[in-house]
């Protein structure tokens, strides 16, 4: 039955009448309307299609073809149908959750093992944020001390609402068709648990008496993917966790949405990379570029960042820095370490109020897996490189900087065990001598590129936050590639923007600028005239 009229902005739906007559089908959700069973078929993820709304007949035909194809496969291939039912377990479970339970239970569970954990109530009056959710968690000592969860516990303003029991299921059956089938599904699932698990449940956890239990199930669906789902049992009197038909009589069951909130799940779901968690990275220079680099490295899962900069956050910094305005007057490093830990619960970002060379002389550089420098000061950067050479340091270093007027930005990765170093990018391309400006630059040296609107000491390079962010993302990608072991050789990378603003200021550009067509490509860093790399 086609149940929609044109125009079509998504695939028009066909409903199945009495779908149960052909058994339980994957991708078909069943509703009852006026005692008639109606099956809604999910044939696509709506956002992945571009619909020809100007040709509705074609859209109907295509939709019908997809419906037929999907249903045919479900009916004629029972194994595939079963595995699809398991694959969509989580979304089916969500479908039977109460409409008002839109806030998922947050669960800080590290292992899929039989265990019991505390459940904390939301904080009264909290409309949003972690404190507005029911929360299951054990003490996770790897969380930042100033993450919302730790702060929330430290504030001691959360009531314990009850207990959660985590039950791993070895053989998952498809999710209940509707909330009426939840009890039956629960009892079947409990009774199909291995005897050892059931007896442990009875002996170990059967001693408690509670009016509410949160049961968190976990099981593998298909392709080793693990799913987590939960239900809540509420009773009037304090009783043990009901595990049989008889004991379940006085309990109300409701399916709950759940969000797993642990490093493995949360970091990876957000695109982070777990193996980076233990890398130690120093970011020196917490200006517009450095702060973005630190942010992106934290977002990638790097926990142990050391932020180095002696400067205060000033009101002038607001429009090209990631810190919020309430940090004005604070040290940039202190503010950013707090901001990072507040956003990324497992961040352990530290801070130091050093200049580059102070930091170099008072710390062991080899303790770091990577040092990222974003100070935009070629003199200090070359001095630091010489310091590393003199001390035979083997730490890898990324130098990143941008140029004014949005013309571009650059980064070098100097891995001491490979050919190519920072000084290669400073070799004078005309004479082969050690130069004073990077040969990667797009703006010719010895020009007035600073703006001055407030006198001496108030000069600044004209660029927008988009330029610094672009440079930072490029440098952060390079850092992540290196930390992941994907970039094993020294290299350089640049992005090139337009020169219209530079031209308007009468700024002269380099030959490299006009001929550069390798934005964001990793190019070899070594220069044949570099005195460090060629002997």
Partner 1 sequence: MSMQNKFIKFHDKIKLGREDDTYREARSKDSSILDDLRDEFKNAGYPIIETFIQGSLSTHTGIKHPVADFDIDRAVVIDADNAPDDPVEVKKLVLKVLEKRGFKNARIKKPCVTADYMNLNLHIDIVIYRKRGQQYELAVGKLNSNAENRVWSPSEPKKLIEHINDSSQYIGSADLKIRQVKRLIRYVKRWRDEKFGQNVGKKVFSIGLTLMLKDKFRPSISNDGKVSDLQSLRDTVSAILNANYFQWVDDGKYKVNVRLPVQPYRNVFENSSIDTGTQLYNKLNAMLAKLDQALSEDSLRKQCEILQGLFGDDFEVPEKEQDSNAKKVAYSSAGVVGTSQGA
- What secondary structure does DSSP assign to 435-484, as a single string? PSS-TT-SB-SSS--EEESSSTT-EEE---HHHHHHHHHHHHHHHHHHHT
Beta-carbon contacts of residue 162 (< 8 Å; ≥ 6 apart): 119, 210, 211, 212, 213, 214
Q: Which is nearer to partner 1, 94 or 353 (CB)?
A: 353
**Backbone dihedral angles phi then psi of residue 338, each to the nearest 5 degrees:** -70, -45
Strands 226-239 and 15-17: unpaired
Residue 356 CB, shortest distance to partner 1, in Å, is 12
**Contact of 287 with 323, CB cutoff 8 Å:** no
Q: How far apart are CA 416 and CA 397, in angstroms?
A: 9
Q: Which is nearer to partner 1, 190 or 502 (CB)?
A: 502
Residue 530 CB, shortest distance to partner 1, in Å, is 10
Residue 468 CB, shortest distance to partner 1, in Å, is 7
| Separation of CA 21 from chain center | 44
Q: Which is nearer to partner 1, 137 or 332 (CB)?
A: 332
Q: Which is nearer to partner 1, 168 or 435 (CB)?
A: 435
Return the percent helix, strand and coil in the chain, to nearest 5. 35, 25, 45
3-state secondary structure of 167: strand
Q: Which residue from 114, 109, 111, 228 is spatially nearest to 165, judged by alpha carbons?
A: 114
Q: Which is nearer to partner 1, 169 or 526 (CB)?
A: 526
- Alpha carbon distances (Å) from 26 to 13, 181, 421: 16, 17, 57
Q: Which residue from 360, 418, 393, 395 is spatially nearest to 479, judged by alpha carbons?
A: 395
**Contact of 325 with 432, CB cutoff 8 Å:** no
- The CA radius of gyration of the chain, in Å to the nearest whole number, is 30
Binding site for partner 1 (CB under 8 A): 285, 287-290, 374-378, 400-404, 428-449, 461, 463, 468, 471, 508-517, 523, 527-529, 531, 534-535
Residue 373 CB, shortest distance to partner 1, in Å, is 8
Q: Which is nearer to partner 1, 159 or 511 (CB)?
A: 511
Residue 374 CB, shortest distance to partner 1, in Å, is 4
Residue 439 CB, shortest distance to partner 1, in Å, is 5
**Contact of 101 with 93, CB cutoff 8 Å:** no
Q: Which is nearer to partner 1, 280 or 512 (CB)?
A: 512
Residue 487 CB, shortest distance to partner 1, in Å, is 19
Q: Which is nearer to partner 1, 14 or 331 (CB)?
A: 331
Residue 533 CB, shortest distance to partner 1, in Å, is 10
- Alpha carbon distances (Å) from 346 to 13, 209, 368, 395: 44, 35, 19, 25
Residue 136 CB, shortest distance to partner 1, in Å, is 43
Q: Which is nearer to partner 1, 266 or 412 (CB)?
A: 412
Q: Which is nearer to partner 1, 199 or 386 (CB)?
A: 386
Half-sphere exposure of 411 (CA within 13 A, CB side): 31
Residue 346 CB, shortest distance to partner 1, in Å, is 27
Q: Which residue from 406, 353, 363, 356 is spatially nearest to 378, judged by alpha carbons?
A: 356
């Amino acid at each position: 039955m086609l149940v929609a009229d044109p125009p079509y902005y998504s695939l028009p739906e066909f409903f199945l009448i009495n779908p149960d007559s052909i058994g339980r089908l994957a991708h078909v959700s069943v509703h009852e309307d006026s005692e008639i069973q109606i099956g809604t078929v999910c044939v696509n993820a709506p956002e992945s299609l571009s619909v020809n709304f100007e040709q509705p007949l074609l859209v109907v035909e295509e939709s019908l073809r997809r419906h037929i194809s999907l249903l045919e496969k479900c009916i004629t291939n029972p194994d595939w149908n079963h595995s699809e039912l398991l694959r969509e377990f989580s979304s089916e479970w969500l479908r039977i959750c109460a409409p008002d339970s839109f806030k998922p239970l947050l669960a800080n569970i590290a292992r899929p093992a039989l265990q019991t954990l505390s459940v904390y109530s939301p904080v009264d009056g909290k409309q949003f944020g972690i404190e507005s959710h029911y929360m299951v968690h054990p003490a996770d000592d790897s969380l930042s001390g100033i993450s919302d969860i730790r702060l929330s516990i430290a504030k001691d303003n959360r009531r314990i609402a009850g207990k959660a029991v985590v039950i791993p299921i070895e053989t998952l059956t498809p999710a209940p068709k509707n909330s009426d089938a939840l009890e039956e599904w629960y009892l079947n699932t409990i009774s199909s648990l291995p005897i050892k698990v059931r007896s442990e449940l009875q002996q170990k956890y059967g001693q408690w008496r509670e009016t509410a239990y949160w049961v968190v199930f976990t099981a593998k669906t298909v392709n080793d993917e693990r799913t987590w789902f939960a239900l809540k049992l509420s009773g009037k009197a304090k009783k043990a966790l009901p595990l049989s038909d008889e004991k379940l009589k006085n309990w109300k069951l409701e399916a709950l949405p759940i969000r797993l909130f642990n490093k493995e799940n949360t970091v990876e779901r957000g695109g982070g990379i777990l193996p980076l968690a233990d890398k130690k990275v120093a970011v020196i220079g917490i200006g517009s570029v450095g702060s973005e680099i630190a942010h992106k490295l934290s977002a990638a899962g790097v926990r142990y960042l050391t932020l180095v900069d002696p400067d205060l956050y000033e009101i002038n910094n607001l429009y090209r820095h990631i810190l919020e305005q309430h940090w004005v007057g604070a040290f940039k490093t202190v503010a950013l370490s707090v901001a990072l830990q507040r956003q990324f619960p497992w961040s352990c970002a530290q801070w130091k109020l050093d200049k580059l060379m102070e930091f170099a002389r008072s710390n062991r550089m080899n303790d770091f897996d990577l040092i990222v420098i974003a100070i935009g000061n070629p003199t200090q950067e070359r001095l630091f490189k010489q310091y590393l050479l003199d001390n035979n340091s083997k730490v890898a270093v990324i130098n990143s900087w941008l140029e004014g007027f949005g013309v571009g930005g650059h980064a070098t990765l100097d891995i001491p065990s490979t050919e190519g170093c920072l000084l290669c990018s400073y070799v004078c391309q005309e004479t082969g001598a050690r130069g004073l400006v990077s040969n990667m630059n797009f703006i010719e040296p010895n020009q007035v590129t600073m703006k001055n609107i407030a006198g001496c000491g108030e000069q600044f390079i004209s660029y927008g936050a988009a330029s610094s962010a672009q440079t930072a993302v490029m440098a952060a990608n390079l850092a992540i590639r290196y930390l992941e072991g994907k970039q094993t050789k020294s290299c350089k990378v640049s992005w090139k923007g337009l020169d219209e603003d530079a031209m308007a200021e009468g700024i002269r550009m380099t030959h490299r600028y006009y001929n550069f067509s390798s934005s964001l490509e990793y190019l070899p860093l070594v220069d044949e005239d570099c005195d460090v790399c060629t002997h």
